[in-house]
Structure 1
Amino acid sequence: MMERFDIYDKDRQLTGRTAERGQALEADEYRLIVHVSLMNSQNQLLIQKRQPHKPAWPGFWDISVGSGALAGETSQAAAAREAFEELGLALELSEVAPCFRVKFPNGFADEYIIHQDVDLTRLHLQTAEVQAVKWASYDEVMVMVDQGTFFPYQEPMLALNLSIFEEGR
């Protein structure tokens, strides 16, 4: 079954329409994606390595979790679902607001930064999407960005996410 997502207008209001994953949107249509950045008590970011067979950005390192919200799903529900699907990590986010939101061409991204120590050996990776996970320092992430081995987020989003990360250092 093909995944469907809600279509929003420029003011982030639901339009009542949906689209299939991969479907191009019109200039005035937007979708919702979520990112979860997990930080431990040593101020390290949990990053994941994308599988080499993924059609988009194969083998790149990425933030902890990210995906599109499904039709009818809240931002919090999408973030919690993806954390469980990709990492096997149950997060209760129903009362958690995103740390910040980013508008990008044809979309809105809700960014969650969760401070939680996670034992990597207890995670159950979604092998279809996630090749590996590790904790990385701010400096290690920045080296990967410079080397072009980290997912190429829009500069303002990545800069804000990493500045919040750096504040915890």
Structure 2
Amino acid sequence: MEYWDIYTQDGICTGRKVKRGDAMAIGDYHLVIHLLILGKDGRLLLQKRSDQKESFPGYWDFGIGGSAVSGENARQCAQRELQEELGIHMDFQQRKPVLRSYGQHSLVDFFTIDYAGELADLTLQKEEVSDVCWADLETVHLMCKQGIFIPYQPHLLALLLDMHKQQGLHCSS
């Protein structure tokens, strides 16, 4: 049973919780993270979502994503999701999101990191990820046109890449 903390649109935790899957009231939000991973050559680490995923099964995605469980902040959620989905341990204690966006009932914090490891070094969580690959932005746009990539807003990846360059977050495997 997974519970989420409920936040205001300003990102203030209300002290209330909601069980995953239960309806949320208007003006209530839960915390979600997305993590864009860049290789040493600047390409993106893409993940193919497991066929068992509830939303967009079998689609390619630009990185880690998940909801913060009750008691977690965005940094803790990003660190946990990265470890669970790809087997990469990285300390997020001093990291900040590069961007926050809003969904209907979600506050979405986007993080970016550099990863110097190889695909063979990854341990995929099969319930979440069925495959991984490196791709440049042009290839991602082609995959979007082919209908095999999650249909994000067209300029989101370019914005995240620009924000990553400005923040200058660098780490190794």
TM above 0.5: yes
After the TM superposition, which parts of structure 1 deviate over 3 Å for at least 4 consecutive aligned residues? none
In 2, Cα distance between equivalents of 1:110 and 1:161: 14
The Cα shift of 1:47 comes to: 0.7
Aligned to 2:35: 36
Aligned to 1:49: 48
Structure 1 residues not aligned, in runs of 5+: none
Measured against aligned partners, the alpha-carbon deviations of 1:92-145 in whole angstroms (never above 9, x if no partner) come to: 111000111111211111000112222110111001111001111111111111
Structure 2 residues not aligned, in runs of 5+: 166-173
Aligned to 2:169: none
The Cα shift of 1:147 comes to: 1.6
TM-score (norm 2): 0.89
In 2, Cα distance between equivalents of 1:60 and 1:17: 33
Measured against aligned partners, the alpha-carbon deviations of 1:31-73 in whole angstroms (never above 9, x if no partner) come to: 1100111101211000100111222111000122000011010
Q: Secondary structure at the match of 1:48?
A: strand
Aligned to 2:88: 89
TM-score (norm 1): 0.91
Q: Say what the alpha-carbon RMSD is for the aligned residues.
A: 1.5
Length, aligned pairs only: 164
Measured against aligned partners, the alpha-carbon deviations of 1:133-167 in whole angstroms (never above 9, x if no partner) come to: 111111111111122211123x2xx6233334378
**Structure 1 residue 165 and structure 2 residue 161: aligned?**
yes
**Residue identity in the other structure for 2:126:** T
Aligned to 1:138: 137
Q: Secondary structure at the match of 1:78?
A: helix
